[in-house]
Chain A
């Protein structure tokens, strides 16, 4: 009986306020969709960091004949200097995970491979490319430890961290994510305001019913429940739409459009979508429930 009564009231209410209900559904869908997009972008950045930080290395370029930095004043690096650098790097274990020495000949060879079809390859001579130590760190964020130990040391021309280049890119993605998040939060505020207003209109349009309910001794819970369920229902539908958009983004935009063109990096997996979906749903329901509850407390007092 109770369930039947409440279901009837909710469906009546939803139909009576159809335009408002639609407005709530749409704003919830848009705001949660943006929110989900921001979370997905963050997951993407995390995935890319994991992928790339695993591959980036710190390069110690050694002085060659033509080097003109202060640390290369003594001319090309000597064997003693090179051996000292190598053993010092080994002393930095376990931070230093792998050390790989690249001679000028190897550097030249790599260069030729990299720019196979480009005229640059023909213009570079072997002696112009420096020999180097390529170092892989167990924790790429601790780059400074290596930099401070070797930068400026005689025989080392330059210490170069690939991560810094990547970080510029990640900062850009982070900025995009922050903008998406800011828009999403603004939209969520709009959504809350809209729900507050919808509840006010709903409470007003049903003031006759609610005043009779109060009169005959219906409990507050019973009076408010149909309104709360209406808000939760609209928010739930909106959240499902947002989740649908998220799934589409992953399946179509990421997997079918972007990923095939950028095969050198990895993209967010379905696990991110599976984590974000319930967050969106719960955020939608809880937010609308709270907005409705506090509005009704004011407008449906005993």
Chain B
């Protein structure tokens, strides 16, 4: 599903690379935690998968495509296969829950009948039935993140990228979000999520990739966060 082949990313005007010679593979259907201190390169790793950044050296493969050779006009179509969730939810404040989810389908030109059918379905999957007509400011943080996950998942992507999705949530709420992501993973979606939260990683016991200063310092299936080398 994802292959990093000796990937180095050096941002312009930076001395130290954000990622330094990273090679690893993520299989279809996996649930992968990306951990590491702030500035260790987690977001950079995820942006490379989304082709928001290009590697300085090496190659990134996603779903059988080498992203360096993906022409610009194909990028939108490539991104339709990937759902993305962020720490700050990124919802449109003047649209309702249902409209926020529908927006993701409208802008890729899906027909109205299809939208009317799948939006309620996905809102049920994320546990927001009955709240379709609320606006984001009438929802708790956890509920807002569920809307964002519904929007990411409504197009049934094969891959879900989540950059610190629980970073703004309290521990109790985070558990609910993790259960939701786990459920989507069990539905067959590959999930790659970055986090600071050691409790979550320890509870879930999934593959853990640890970054430090742009290097992979640990890659362990069924890991826990604080496991010393």
Contacts and interface: CB of A to CB of B under 8 A. Distances in A.
Contacts of B78: 217
A1 B90 contact: no
A224 to B, nearest CB: 12
B72 A302 contact: yes
Nearest to A2: B109
A1 B108 contact: no
Interface stretch (B99-107, B177-185, B205-213): B99-107
B58 to A, nearest CB: 21
A213 B109 contact: no
A216 B81 CA distance: 9
A218 interface: yes
Contacts of B72: 302
B90 A218 contact: no
A4 B102 CA distance: 14
A208 to B, nearest CB: 6
Among B76, B79, B92, B112, the most chain A Cβ lie within 10 Å of the Cβ of B76
B146 interface: no
Interface centre among B80, B82, B108, B112 (most CB of A within 10 A): B108
A212 interface: yes
A283 interface: no
B92 A1 contact: no
A220 B73 contact: yes
B63 interface: no
Nearest to A302: B75
Contact of A213 (B75, B84, B107, B112): B107
Given A1-B106, A1-B109, A2-B109, A220 B76 contact: yes
Contacts of A209: 92, 103
Nearest to B95: A209
Contacts of B90: 208, 211-212, 215
Interface in A213-229: 213-220, 222-223
Contacts of A219: 73, 76-77, 108
B222 interface: no
A5 B104 CA distance: 12
B57 interface: no
A107 B109 CA distance: 83
Contact of B106 (A5, A211, A214, A217): A5
Interface string A151-191: 00000000000000000000000000000000000000000
Given A216-B108, A219-B76, 15 more contacts: A1-B109, A1-B112, A4-B112, A5-B107, A209-B92, A211-B90, A212-B103, A215-B79, A215-B84, A216-B80, A217-B77, A218-B107, A220-B76, A302-B75, A302-B76
Interface of B: 72-73, 75-82, 84, 90, 92, 103-104, 106-112, 115, 151, 155
